[in-house]
Amino acid sequence: MLNKAAPVFVTGAAILWGILVIFVKNLSVAGLESMEIVTLRVYGAALILVIGLLLYNKKWLSIRLKDAWCFVGTGVVSIVFFSYCYFRNVTVSSVAVSSILMYTSPIWVTLFARIIFREKIGRRKLITLGIAFAGCILVSGITGGVGRVSLEGLLLGLGSGIGYGLYSIFGRIALEKGYHPMTVSAYTFLFACVGVLPFIKPAEIWNKMGVAPGLWGWALCMVLFSTCMSFTLYTIGLKYMEAGRAAVLATLEPIVTTLVGVVLYKEMLSLVMVCGISMVLGASILISKE
């Protein structure tokens, strides 16, 4: 039953990640920088997930010390490293370049999954991977011309793609060791809390959040919907499907983000972008039926 529902869980996660832009835009108005928003996200998620497990099932908070490296992988190597590379790249490159390089992640996941989990890379998976990646290129607007990409921008972009994709790899390893998806999600953000410490000043975040009480509401929605729920849904889906397939389905995220921009922020949607959206949706349908 859950094997058939796995694509639904991953699709739900991609949608919730896609609406993240709504919360980020509202928090940015208060002057919060990218890593400060990431900090609110990981600390809020860690708090809610741990409290939830304490109330629902304390046993799911138990991990073996020898397996801690899995959660260092999901929390620090993936979440923190990806966030740093992506947000840093936005400042040295264009948003389009940063976005499309981040979405090389399914390629890395497919390669890593082949090496680590011996997942097959069949013709159908290669075709859907290519369609999804090409669709992301069109949606990003990169085909309209974005200028030269510096070496730093290229390395940061590839780093964000690898970091983004490594959640699927480390998360899958943790799941195969017998950990519940909620355990993986909780410890991911607990370790991420430690990972973001070198990049933040808590007092500054607190002062900025005090500008308007409503900001805490946006932060809470970001944590509940686009973090706790999204990562839990994705991790559940990851337990019952191949990491490579899950990564391709997750490319729905930029599509949702684009549609949010069009509907809520009156951004323009070109014919090329519509073609890109259609390609990603088509690839997602193909991979979900594999």
Check: CB of residue 241 under 8 Å from CB of residue 6: yes
What is the pTM (predicted TM-score) of this model?
0.88
User: Measured between alpha carbons, how far is 117 from 162 in angstroms, rounded to an integer?
Assistant: 17
For the four alpha carbons of 123, 124, 126 and 131, in that order, the dihedral sign comes to: positive
Predicted local confidence at residue 199, as pLDDT: 85
Residue type, 61: L
Predicted local confidence at residue 251, as pLDDT: 86
Residue with tokens 């011996």: 118
User: Measured between alpha carbons, how far is 256 from 136 in angstroms, rounded to an integer?
Assistant: 12
Count of Cβ atoms closer than 10 Å to residue 260 Cβ: 17
User: Measured between alpha carbons, how far is 27 from 33 in angstroms, rounded to an integer?
Assistant: 9
Predicted local confidence at residue 103, as pLDDT: 78
Residue type, 245: R
What the block records as the tokens of 175 is 């799941």
Predicted local confidence at residue 255, as pLDDT: 83
- Collapse the DSSP code of 103 into the 3-class scheme (helix H, G, I; strand E, B; otherwise coil) and give the result: coil
Low-confidence stretches of the chain (pLDDT < 70) are: 1-2, 94-98, 140-149, 289-290
Predicted local confidence at residue 190, as pLDDT: 97
Residue type, 32: L
For the four alpha carbons of 72, 74, 78 and 81, in that order, the dihedral sign comes to: negative
CA distance between the termini of the chain: 16
